[in-house]
Structure 1
Amino acid sequence: MVNDQQVPPPAERLALIDLAAVRHNVRHFVRLTSPARVMAIVKADAYGHGAEQVARAALEAGATWLGVAHISEALALRSAGISAPILAWLHTVDTPFAEAVAANVDLGLSGWELESVVAAARELQIPARVHLKIDTGLGRNGCPEDKWEAFVGRALAYQEEGLLRVVGIFSHFSVADEPERPETDLQLEKFRTAVAVAEDAGVDHEVRHIANTPAALSRPDSHFDMVRVGLGMYGLSPFPEQSPDELGLRPAMTLKTTIANCKEVPAGQGVSYGLRYTTQEPTTLALVPLGYADGVPRVGTGGPVWVDGNVYPVVGRIAMDQMVIDLKATGIAGTGKDLVGREAVLFGGVGMPSVDEWAEACGSINYEIITRISSRVQRKYTDSEEAGL
């Protein structure tokens, strides 16, 4: 019998996502923070890993909530058939609150949004589920301390009308990734005070949450009823001095392509825009077909690329579609040692360059490197558990 189904061609640029690594990381946080629940943060398309796929893997591994920034992200998960509790917390005047209420999406509120959410609930005749946010020191969203009591009072008045249910109280740390700093203690103290004020006013919450990945790892006194795990779920460390492996985490994403060209050049050959790099002796340059349109920062000169068992730094400026590595050798191009078609890995798991090395080369952080990988890079999902790896 002939199979008419066409096999897709190999991806020229690939972000390989190991869902077994995601599940491993989530189970690690479940064990570490129990009895607190785990909210898996899948905003920004799960930090570039694929929101639906990661959400399902996280829930399979024991996460009980999902967290996103925007309601549109929550609605996409609902459309995919995911029914777990979802919290969305970043809103604008154009946010579709009615759609969120109708889809049973929990809403994080800081102040002005309360009346808009209530209007949507009144129109639908469905009570909204809300989490009230207190600003304990980050200075972004969240109700100011001096307005907190009044904010809680307004929410409870609407709850009495049957228009909403205050499900949670939450806040966000500013420096939990720097455990030695005292501000985390101050924020915790303010959060406990805000919770007490809300409880005294009559709030019967389901969850209190303030801990992010670094606090989940280093501050058990901040776990309360739930922790919100973002970076750690993807197998990356929030602490510059500790590797993922030291924290019991496994990186989930491998970014790779194949060498597109390989040629010998003389000494004095300039490389890429601006000619910021010039070869000092005859050498071989290899072309890697990934650039800033694929999400690799333009400033990432020096970033590591693994090819054929060796790691080479990027030389010259990274362009829109490509970058160059200097193999520091001759007698390669046009021979059996030619690297054209060989796999080139920018970052990945064991034995490969790390996201943190790329972050250092770019003067950035690991969060940015993974979240900016663009849609031009195909995502492919694997499962090392099923493969027995």
Structure 2
Amino acid sequence: MDITNPHPALPSVATPSVLPEGASTVGLSAWADVDLGAIRDNVAELARRAGDAAVMAVIKGDAYGHGLVPVAGAAIAGGATHLGVAQLGEALAARAAGVSAPILTWIFPPGADLAAAIHADLTLSAGAPWALAEIAAAARATGTTARVHIKVDTGLGRGGAWHDDLAGMLVDAARLEAEGVVDVEGIFSHFAYADSPDHPTVRAQQETFLAIVADAERAGLRPRIRHIANSAATLTNPSAHLDMVRPGVSVYGLSPVPHIGGPTHFGLREAMRVTARLIAVKDCPAGQGVSYGHLYTTKGDTRLGLVPLGYADGIPRHATGVGPMQVHGTRYTVAGRVCMDQIVLDLGPDSPAQAGDEVILIGRESQGEPTAQDWAAAIDTINYEIVTRLGPRVPRRYLEGS
């Protein structure tokens, strides 16, 4: 078995196996169907809402667990003109797999192989003086003008340059552009409270961003693409659309603002459906403790169903007692502790369930199935985390239709 990493400077990442469309799921413990038609339609809806602004579909984190390369193709087919990938390694992997659309990548450490990124025609983010300097050095070494988007911190307090660092970077970037070393194609930022559209920081960050764009122009730069709108701003704040929007979670049919509305409210539909099969169903007496630590005890005679997924597959361990699942149209929650490879359901005394029956873990709001948002609400997190953490032991099956 060849386990050589073709990019030894980059981490190797386990990727899920892929089932052909229409492949039988008999004999599988679990699988995830990814509806590429839904992704295409979601991007088309986001593009409609964006008006004259272009769409950069964010496919970081293996496309939020949906699959980097298949999602890239579906997003472009839906109308995305650009793709966004956080980690440089994933951006290089997308290029190596034949994804030819413009790709912006914004996370790499000092000493990263930026020459490889420039050779791969990636757009690089400069969010600190050292990053701009290393991009320039790599561009000179390769004899190729590097395409750059300057990342600015307008108040999130995370990535991006601000204050004196930013002022110096704008001057340096203008000088490097005049020399032909870089092409400052874009400038971008990120909201802190976009999921709360009325929060005062939203407008404040927009005003700060536009002031920084003006500073860049005074320094001699002419960025052609200004972007700050993530999924929430794309859906709720047209004034932030500017030249391009940068949706992430909404590409996958999940709402970034569930307190305002779910997917159907915004004309989206969930692209991922996760199904498992019961591997055992057994009668159980009243008073029986279930799973590690006996955190759950049966209240009466009942039937227990064993689901072959656990925290090794991305099921949150803190979903113990609350994680929602559905069998034969009935909702259940995890009975007892989530284990590494297994979950138990208390199916009740009259359940007709048998080993081999399907268990829906993540489905669609419109069909009344448990959703990623239901899981997120149950464990006090966000739907982004639920789909992104689905592990590589769960094979993906890509569906071209809807």
With the length of structure 1 as denominator, give the TM-score of the two structures.
0.94
Task: Tell me if structure 1 keeps the 8 A contact 2:36–2:74.
Answer: yes
CA deviations on 1:218-264 (whole Å, 9 max, x unpaired) are 11110000000100000001113211111111000001111110011
Q: State the match for 1:32 in structure 2.
A: 49
Other structure's SS at 2:334 match: strand
User: Aligned pair 1:74/2:94, yes or no?
Assistant: no
In structure 2, C-alpha distance between the alignment counterparts of 1:364 and 1:73, rounded to whole Å: 25
Q: State the match for 1:308 in structure 2.
A: 328
In structure 2, C-alpha distance between the alignment counterparts of 1:235 and 1:110, rounded to whole Å: 30
Q: State the match for 1:4 in structure 2.
A: none
Q: State the match for 2:345 in structure 1.
A: 325
User: Aligned pair 1:249/2:268, yes or no?
Assistant: yes
Matched AA of 2:202: T
Q: State the match for 1:91 in structure 2.
A: 108
Q: State the match for 1:190 in structure 2.
A: 208
CA drift of 1:8 comes to 7.1
CA drift of 1:338 comes to 3.9
In structure 1, C-alpha distance between the alignment counterparts of 2:238 and 2:353, rounded to whole Å: 53
Match of 1:163 among 168, 172, 181: 181
Q: State the match for 2:236 in structure 1.
A: 218
In structure 1, C-alpha distance between the alignment counterparts of 2:353 and 2:395, rounded to whole Å: 26
Task: Tell me if structure 2 keeps the 8 A contact 1:136–1:145.
Answer: no
Higher RCO, 1 vs 2 (CA within 8 Å, ≥6 residues apart): 2
**Residue correspondence of structure 1 range 163-182 to structure 2 within 5 A:** 163-182=181-200
The number of residues matched between the two structures is 374
With the length of structure 2 as denominator, give the TM-score of the two structures.
0.91
Further displaced range: 147-156 or 256-265: 147-156
Calculate percent identity across the aligned residue pairs.
Answer: 47
In structure 2, C-alpha distance between the alignment counterparts of 1:26 and 1:32, rounded to whole Å: 10
Matched AA of 1:314: V
CA deviations on 1:25-81 (whole Å, 9 max, x unpaired) are 000001000200000000110000001000000001100000001111111111111
CA drift of 1:146 comes to 3.3
Task: Tell me if structure 1 keeps the 8 A contact 2:328–2:353.
Answer: no
In structure 2, C-alpha distance between the alignment counterparts of 1:124 and 1:8, rounded to whole Å: 49
Other structure's SS at 2:359 match: strand
Match of 1:342 among 357, 369, 378: 357
Further displaced range: 154-163 or 369-378: 154-163
Unaligned runs of 5+ in 1: 1-6
Task: Tell me if structure 2 keeps the 8 A contact 1:212–1:230.
Answer: yes
Segments of 4+ moved more than 4 angstroms: none
In structure 2, C-alpha distance between the alignment counterparts of 1:284 and 1:95, rounded to whole Å: 55
In structure 1, C-alpha distance between the alignment counterparts of 2:336 and 2:50, rounded to whole Å: 45
What is the root-mean-square deviation of aligned Cα atoms in Å? Answer: 1.2
Q: State the match for 1:3 in structure 2.
A: none
